[in-house]
Chain A
Amino acid sequence: MRYQEQGGLHEDLLNLKWTTPGNILAAITNFAGATLTIAELEARKLHHDSTELITRAVQPALWLLIFGEVLARVRAIPTGNLSYIDFMTPGILAQSVLFIAIFYGIAVIWERDLGILHKLLASPAPRAALVLGKALSAGERGLSQAVIIYLLALALGVRINWTITAVVGVLVVVVLGSALFSTFSLIVACLVRTRERFMGVGQLLTMPLFFASNAIYPISIMPIWLQTISQVNPLTYEVDALRALMIVGGPTVYGLMVDLAMLLVTIAILVIMAARLYPRVIF
């Protein structure tokens, strides 16, 4: 496949060579507009049918109520000054965001089979805007998970940091985490191309991503080889940021700025990759 996708950003940039800053501003507005339109499309769908959001609440509830309560009694995991349930709650938030986002890419296969994708790709919306819009709409679903986890945490007596900056920070990280893993999922979908294969690969990816992270135990108790893997796993940085923001006295291993930078850089790389693969799904 030597063909290189032309048009799109590449062509837009060529056309911009002799133009004014005003045109560059217009291109940016155009990009943002298309991105938000795709996010709006998904938000409207959720609004028409939100049963999905309610059934999604069950899994994190089980993790917190059963797994969390049992392990808290065992006291096997060193969590520093935090109780185990305090330690674990941000991890379970990250996990439930991951579990939704990692299957999000199947939508692209679905939309191709329906023909919706054909029409989106024949529209002037930049490819990267289509991808980023999808990523943001995964964030919408992630936010609903955040609401559920906050409610569960309240019921379980988790020491939540309720300051506005902390809560807003948590929501931002949730959107970033959703965007990151949903774009990763989109790339997988573009590569495997069928629903059946996608479900298989999705299952295969979820558990390693979850267990090779600091979501339910600190990295320091892992064997060295697993520590290495965990340190390149973006979920680790998402959890690290959530733990610092969500819990009173929550520690951060890497520092918030490093966490955010890791997430943003990874998202940028994934969106660029996905924008190149996306149009090929229909070949």
Chain B
Amino acid sequence: MSTLLSLHEAAGTFSESALHGIQTLAAEGKDNPRADFSDTPWWLSLVKALIIFVYLLVSTLMVIWFERRVIGRMQQRPGPNRNGPFGLLQTLADGMKAMLKEDNTPAKADRFVFTLAPLITATMCFIGFAIIPLAGEVSMFGHRTPFQLADSPIAVLFVLAIAGIGIYGVVLAGWSSGSPYPLMGGLRSSAQMISYEIAMGLSLVAVFLYSGSMSTSQIVGSQGSVWYIVPAFFSFFVYVITMVGETNRLPFDLAEGEGELTGGFHTEYGSMRFAMFFLGEYINMFTVAALATTMFLGGWQAPPGIAAINDGMFNEGWWGLLWFTIKLWMFMFVFVWLRGSLPRTRYDQFMRFGWKFLIPATLGWVVLVAFFRGAQNGWFGDAALEIAGRRFPVSSLAIVGLVAVGALAFGWWWDNRAMAREAAANETAPEEIDPYAGGFVVPPLPGQRLRETARVGAPALPEADPVTERPSGPAVFDFTDKEAPRG
């Protein structure tokens, strides 16, 4: 009874503290955007929208050329190098050619949806970039304005929602084509995207735990001392995997696995409508990479060494755009590198990896980060150890120790299981097998003998002797007695 009472009391203090927390939250408003749009007239927003739009289009033209050049180098060939300096205008030439091709609509297609789908993809891919901060405060036409189109307390949720709408383009394209390959490709692609969206969403929770906000400007601002890739390294790892899965890129481009689906959901598309899907894919790559930069790599902030030069001179104004672009292109290189070096996975492997590893592992990681954060806030006592002049809370060290022990135990269990599996695989095969035991015919391994099946009505065959001698019954591989000699 007394324990129940104390539990009740504890719950009382808990809920009191929670209530207090909500009140302070309302007062502090920590989750509000840091970016200040008060000095931004509407026409300046339009100008910024135009700049971001052009930035994305030019980046797409560049990245397609970049991808073909880098993959060409990886395969020891030059890649496109004829149109313009270093072949830079190749993509533009390809785009013009696509425009001059016939825009064919298959007879069985749903004409309206067939045209709508690429428009959805190409329109939605731009919007995700609206909340990405490309730089800090900049001067533009006499106004001080943050170099980002918009921000809100739920900015990151907005990007995830837009990514969800983008999937409609793929599904509708597959369905409306009126052809089996696109239908399968569209279904696969949507199942793939939604499966990896869960792990992607969960991996971001760790960042929110540290930043205490979902506004992108606030997240970038709170990474001044240390980028979140350090405390949330596992989240970063999961995010990079899921962003490849989300954008249908190799090794996860199962939606258009040409060996099995010819082209996937856009098999029936040609001309500019196909180009819209192509554009959407590349801009989506930029969007997920920009989100990774913002969430884990400090956004537009200069790298630690450079940020300290001359009182943070390189950390202000338009310099942010440079650092942001460099970080963005690092991810682009990783995308190309993956494509150049990894073969495509199988669909069931891909789904198993997403559902059975990424989701539970990320969930466990979120719980772990929450406990760490609690220890940092001193919720488990204030005891701390002084090591080399730095204070380490005892509770954090206890969590680290627990995780280490858990990891060791898991490794031990995993090793044992692997060894057991290996032992099972190395087990010597039985010397005599029944070819029909599994329901279908199985050929014997070398050194094995087939057991003759009993014929209906035939007398039971004599038992075969052990392998040391030839069997006394009908010989196994000796087919000579089955056929009477001719002639």
**A and B interact:** no
Task: Give the B-binding residues of A (Cβ under 8 A).
Answer: none
